[in-house]
Amino acid sequence: MNPLIQLESTARDEETEPQLSDIINAIRNEYDKDTAKDKYHEAATAWFRAACYHWIRVMDGENDCRAVAVVAVALEKQGWDMIPAILASLLPDTTIDAMRDTSDVDLQLCYVDDYFDGLDHVMPDDDTIADAMRHIDGIIQSSGDDATANAQTLMAILATAAGQADTAREAAWQANRIDPDHPFAAWLTDLAR
């Protein structure tokens, strides 16, 4: 099933909400099933687009463990090379609704850097990455606590996937400092050590 459809239709009962690690494991299994089929490239591309979509949702302040799990699994399964492409999908002055309609166009700003397991990994040019990072920094500087904690959480996940331990630790610490009751506080506490 399309991960977007599956995740959006899942009930969000806080009393029975599974842990983030459980959700990530479930999403991993779904990813593996999807990409084990003959059309690996199409499935991997669909997951990449889902990751971009959910990245935008969380950066916009939505506390959704499933959204974070999709981003984390896509990063893990497709390699850290996709991180700049996700960053590039969130360009300055782009509204969330517009982004959903134009993500393919934005990603065409990227060039093919490598070819791995049948999936094109795209890397944006330096200006695109710089613009995206400025935009993310703007969110962190000017947003309310919930959105800022989410932004720091995503930065921690991205940095972890990229092997940037110090950056991940700092982002995790900041997220917990801003909002100690953040849904991912326990996971971030382990990461921040």
Taking a C-beta distance cutoff of 8 angstroms, is the pair 113, 123 a contact? yes
What is the span of the domain harbouring residue 27?
3-7+19-192
As a whole number, mean pLDDT of residues 179-190 equals: 72
Taking a C-beta distance cutoff of 8 angstroms, is the pair 122, 110 a contact? yes
Tally of domains within the chain:
1
Does residue 12 lie within any of the structural domains?
A: no
CA gyration radius for the chain? 16
Q: Is the pLDDT of residue 167 over 70?
A: yes
Structure token pair of residue 5: 């459809």
Does residue 171 lie within any of the structural domains?
A: yes
Report yes or no on whether pTM surpasses 0.75. no
Nearest Cα neighbor of 86 from 128, 149, 140, 141 is: 128
| CA–CA separation, 59 and 132 (whole Å) | 12
Q: Is the pLDDT of residue 23 over 70?
A: yes
Does residue 185 lie within any of the structural domains?
A: yes
As a whole number, mean pLDDT of residues 96-111 equals: 44
Q: At what angle are helices 65-78 and 20-35 packed, to 10 degrees?
A: 50
Q: Which runs of consecutive H residues, i.e. helices, occur in the chain?
A: 3-8, 20-35, 40-59, 65-78, 83-88, 96-107, 126-142, 145-161, 165-178, 185-192
**C-alpha torsion 13→68→192→143, nearest 10:** -90
pLDDT given at position 134: 61
CB atoms under 10 Å from CB of 105, counted, come to: 8
Does residue 53 lie within any of the structural domains?
A: yes
Nearest Cα neighbor of 110 from 75, 135, 149, 82 is: 82
Does residue 13 lie within any of the structural domains?
A: no
Structure token pair of residue 175: 């997220």
Does residue 29 lie within any of the structural domains?
A: yes
As a whole number, mean pLDDT of residues 173-177 equals: 85
Query: Between 44 and 158, where is the model more confident?
Result: 44
| CA–CA separation, 68 and 62 (whole Å) | 10
Compute the mean pLDDT over every residue in the chain, rounded to the nearest whole number.
64
Does residue 14 lie within any of the structural domains?
A: no
Does residue 160 lie within any of the structural domains?
A: yes
